[in-house]
């Protein structure tokens, strides 16, 4: 078996929750955000896997995180698609493919390539989560930690608007990408993932054609960051938008 899958998503859509669950199966790769132009992200993975440079970055990431059954997974935000394409163009069987799509580059390395499109229906909650996480630099908490996030971030409807617009833009970009390249991803939503975690993971494994009948039921390894503050902000934001002129109101998905 030689399979690559890409979780196509946007910030605060539950991608880390999904990736951790798939990795814990021991048979679905170890999907993570490997391809990102930010220097600190590249430095982390290069140090972790002793990668010498850009010329062998993708090869080493794939070799280090592919499970024994031949499955490799990665998480990708729309803004980092170019980073993944650039990395894949170096080395291996894709060295000569300069202008190929992401799918063409992956198909040159793997027998089977599949895509999972993970998004979030509640864009207001997503925007609030993204804004708070960005300002506080707190992106996850361990499962079982029932405490409030404890950040001192102040309510800012303008910045929440910005985060909501970005989330919607990313969804549109991914949808356009799939249509343009003739790809049919498996579609998942955050709300289903958190409400029905183990069954959703098993649906993904079915889509990837990875046997899972012998796996124990999965439990989330990280907790939701949403708390009373997030819920209060959501109510406050909706009140502000409801009172705004019709042309300025954010349209909920």
Q: Encode 88-143 in three state secondary structure.
A: HCCCHHHCCCCCCCHHHHHHCCCCEEEEEEEECCCHHHHHHHHHHHHHHCCCCEEC
The pair of structure tokens assigned to 246 is 């019709």
Give the 3-state secondary structure of residue 55: helix
**Structural domains for the chain:** 3-122+170-225 (3.40.50.300)
d(CA 185, CA 192): 17
Say whether pLDDT at 151 is over 80: no
d(CA 44, CA 241): 41
Task: Return the minimum-mean-pLDDT range out of 1-15, 25-39, 117-131, 143-157.
Answer: 143-157
The pair of structure tokens assigned to 140 is 């996850």
Q: Average pLDDT of the chain?
A: 89
Q: Which helix (H) or strand (E) holds 223?
A: strand 222-223
> What Å distances lie between residue 11 and 91, 100, 164, 204, CA to CA?
30, 26, 11, 20
Q: What is the spatial order of strands in the sheet that 186-189 belongs to?
A: 71-77, 3-9, 112-119, 186-189
Give the 3-state secondary structure of residue 24: helix
The pTM for the full model equals 0.89
In tens, the pLDDT along 16-65 reads 999 999 999 999 999 999 999 889 999 999 999 999 888 899 999 999 99
Say whether pLDDT at 134 is over 90: no
d(CA 198, CA 218): 5
Q: Which helix (H) or strand (E) holds 76?
A: strand 71-77
Q: Which helix (H) or strand (E) holds 7?
A: strand 3-9
CB-based contacts of 10: which residues, under 8 Å, 6+ apart? 77, 78, 119, 120, 126, 166, 167, 170, 171, 174
Confidence of residue 189 (pLDDT cuts 50, 70, 90): very high
Return the half-sphere exposure (C-beta side, CA atoms, 13 A cut-off) of residue 99: 0
d(CA 176, CA 169): 11
């Amino acid at each position: 078996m030689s399979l690559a899958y890409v979780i196509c998503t946007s910030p605060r859509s539950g991608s880390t929750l999904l990736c951790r669950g798939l990795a814990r199966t021991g048979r679905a790769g170890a999907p993570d955000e490997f391809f990102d132009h930010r220097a600190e992200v590249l430095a982390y993975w290069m140090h972790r896997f002793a990668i010498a440079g850009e010329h062998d970055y993708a090869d080493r990431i794939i070799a280090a995180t592919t499970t024994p059954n031949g499955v490799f997974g990665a998480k990708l935000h729309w803004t980092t698609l170019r980073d993944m394409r650039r990395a894949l163009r170096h080395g291996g069987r894709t060295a000569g493919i300069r202008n190929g799509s992401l799918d063409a580059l992956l198909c040159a390395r793997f027998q089977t390539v599949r895509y999972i499109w993970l998004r979030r229906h509640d864009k207001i909650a997503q925007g609030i989560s993204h804004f708070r996480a960005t300002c506080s630099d707190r992106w996850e908490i361990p499962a079982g930690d029932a405490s409030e996030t404890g950040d001192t971030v102040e309510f800012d409807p303008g910045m929440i608007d910005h985060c909501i617009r970005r989330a919607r833009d990313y969804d549109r970009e991914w949808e356009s990408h799939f249509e343009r390249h003739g790809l049919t991803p498996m579609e998942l939503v955050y709300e289903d993932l958190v409400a029905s975690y183990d069954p959703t993971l098993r649906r993904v494994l079915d889509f990837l054609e990875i046997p899972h009948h012998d796996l124990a039921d999965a439990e989330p390894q990280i907790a939701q960051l949403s708390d009373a503050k997030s819920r209060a902000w959501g109510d406050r934001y909706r009140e502000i938008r409801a009172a705004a002129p019709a042309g300025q109101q954010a349209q909920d998905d």
